[in-house]
Amino acid sequence: MSGDAEWHEVAEKFWPQWRRIFNEGMAEAEVSGVCPACGKQTLHRWYRLLAHRPHMFGDQAFAGPGPLWEWCSTCRSYVSFCTGYVPAEWVPPYDVELDTIPREPDLIERARAAAMR
C-alpha cells in the first residue's frame, strides 16, 4: 500500500474489526492496533470540539458536540461521524485549520504528518 492511495470508507468486511480496535479507547489520537485493511499500525482519530457544552452520558464525561474522524494513514481507509460528542479527556495533539467539516480526513492527516516531522 502506498501513501498515495485514495481516501475511501472502511470496507464493510473490515468494519467489525475496525470497530473493535477503535472502541478500545475513546480519547487516544494515536490508536494502538493494526489496520484491518492493510496490517499497518497507523490508525488515528481526531475530534473537533464545536461548542464547549459539558455533558454526561452514563458515567462518561463529554466536553460538547463535535465530529470524529477515524483513519489509517497508510491505506487511507477512513470513517467520519458528523454528529457526536467529544470525550472530556480529549486533548488535540495538533491543530487543524478547518473552515468546514469535511468527510475525508485529508486536512487532518496533513496536519498530523506535519506535526510529526
Chain residues in the site for Zn ion (CB under 5 A): 35, 37-38, 72, 74-75
Question: Are the CB atoms for 27 and 90 separated by under 8 Å?
Answer: yes
Distance of closest approach, residue 74 Cβ to Zn ion, in angstroms: 5
Distance of closest approach, residue 37 Cβ to Zn ion, in angstroms: 4
Residue 100 C-alpha cell reads as: 468546514
Cβ proximity to Zn ion, 41 vs 60, nearer residue: 41
Question: Phi and psi (nearest 5°) for 74?
Answer: -85, -60
Please state whether 28 falls in left (phi above 0), alpha (psi between -120 and 50) or beta: beta
Task: Name beta bridge partners: 71.
Answer: 44, 78
Distance of closest approach, residue 93 Cβ to Zn ion, in angstroms: 20
Question: Phi and psi (nearest 5°) for 2?
Answer: -105, 160
Cβ proximity to Zn ion, 77 vs 87, nearer residue: 77
Cβ proximity to Zn ion, 16 vs 54, nearer residue: 16
Question: Are the CB atoms for 60 and 84 separated by under 8 Å?
Answer: no
Distance of closest approach, residue 58 Cβ to Zn ion, in angstroms: 31
Cβ proximity to Zn ion, 86 vs 108, nearer residue: 108
